[in-house]
Amino acid sequence: MSQTMSSSVLRSPGDPYQVVDNFTVLKQLGAGAMGEVFLARESLTNRTVALKLMAAKYSKDEQYRKRFEREIHVVAQLEHPNVAGYAGHGEWNGRPYLAVEYIPGATLSDFIRGGKRLEEDLALAIAIQIAQGLNYAHQRCDLIHRDIKPGNLLADLHGAKQFTDEATIKIIDFGLARARAAHDSLNYDLGSGGTEVGIEDAGERFQTIDQQELAALGQQANGGLTLAGQVMGTPNYMSPEQCRGENELTFSSDLYALGATLFHLITGRAPFIARTPGMVIVAHITEPAPDPGAIIRTLRPATRELIIRAMGKQPKDRHRSYELFIAAAVGARKLLHMGQAQRAAPPAPAQRRMSGEDFQGMIEEVASDLPQGRQLSGADALREISTRMIRRNQPTSGLHRRSQEPPDQQAAQPPTPRFAIPRPEEQPAKPDQAPVKPANKTSSFFRKLLKPPGG
């Protein structure tokens, strides 16, 4: 990884590009109140990076510089496929900058803008990747992102035209993150200050919400609302404890934001809709998690349960680890795939019981296939008919089940046909009748049916 670089900016005569240390700025990618983001190329490796430069008006503000430095420390510790990788940092004209890997794609908010939504399977695949990145960051340095939302999740489509589950999701913007440095026990945090809430907007603006406004909304909503301190994040996705400004947040707060993000991806709208950010914050604290299945009627129960549990009001109501969330999401995808496979499978051929006409036709077919002059006994005829019915996938209706068994079982335990017609010699004689004389030929019924042609 690159180390902190000395400040040096060069401009060649007639060259439209600026050189910031080892990075050549190619074009601007975006701008907001906090700063600008440029596409740049690193001279040593020739790789393209995204260079985030703090706005000049904040460069001398100690609070904002501290936040920017914290983001640098956090990003420099992380190396994971689902986290935007560190590429270097430094300072240019008194303005700190951070370079991270450039992801040629769009944020998830671009894919759901205007009420659009993603298919259930794709949304689940995305949620799994986000959880994997967050789990790594939490295990690596106890990181709490505090601003998980569609706008901070980049989708690398790898050149594909369609957004599929082959895309790689990258977590970006660790400006509000809290983490323990890998080399010591320092806790990089912003410190105390006003109540500041990030409002997801066309630009990355930060608006200040008055504590008195939140307290007044809380009085209206639930007879009182306690705010512990600083509230930072994006209202649409913040956990109840983050909305209350609690300092001791856990990974469960990010898990709630992930659940709220998944809710938005699947339904096309944020979990709570209100006129002001303050009212949204109060809703997160006081109202139960909305049911995504009430909006998307075709949503699978497992996916619905995944979102509702992730958005539990108390941390103890949510998944107890990212691993459990991932396992539940993977299971929901498997159930979804099974249901899709069953719907896509061709219908099984309809089976019907053999009618009298079908049975008569089968008897005539057996008779016609016999060699000239040969006749079958009743039991042999039924056995032959049963065999042909099985070959044609017709239900035998219990006429004869012996031929359905493996040959070794047939030899070991020859079952008695359930509806086999006994031979004449096997029929018991009635008391008032003379014993039936044994016959070597079939009964008159089958003799007529199986009578050879022309006989």
Q: pLDDT digits over 276-293, tens only?
A: 999 999 999 999 999 999
pLDDT of 86: 95
Domain 1-102 CATH assignment equals 3.30.200.20: yes
pLDDT of 373: 67
pTM score: 0.68
pLDDT of 353: 64
Structure tokens given for 264? 């938005």
Distance separating the N- and C-terminal Cα atoms of the chain: 99
* DSSP per position, 107-173: EHHHHSGGG----HHHHHHHHHHHHHHHHHHHHHH--B-S--SGGGEEEE-TT-SS--TTSEEEE--
Whether the Cβ atoms of residue 265 and residue 123 lie closer than 8 Å to each other: yes
Q: What letter would DSSP give residue 4?
A: B
- Kindly give the parts of the chain with pLDDT less than 70: 1-17, 33, 180-231, 345, 347-356, 359, 373, 376, 378, 392-455
437: closest CA among 422, 448, 427, 452? 427
Dist CA 125 CA 259 (whole Å)? 13
pLDDT of 141: 92
The residues facing 35 across adjacent strands are: 54
Please name the fold of domain 105-183+194-345: Transferase(Phosphotransferase); domain 1 (1.10.510)
pLDDT of 358: 72
Structure tokens given for 351? 């089976």
pLDDT of 112: 96
Catalytic residue list: 147
- Per-residue pLDDT tens for 291-327? 999 999 999 999 999 999 999 999 999 999 999 999 9
Domain boundaries, the chain: 1-102, 105-183+194-345, 354-412+441-455
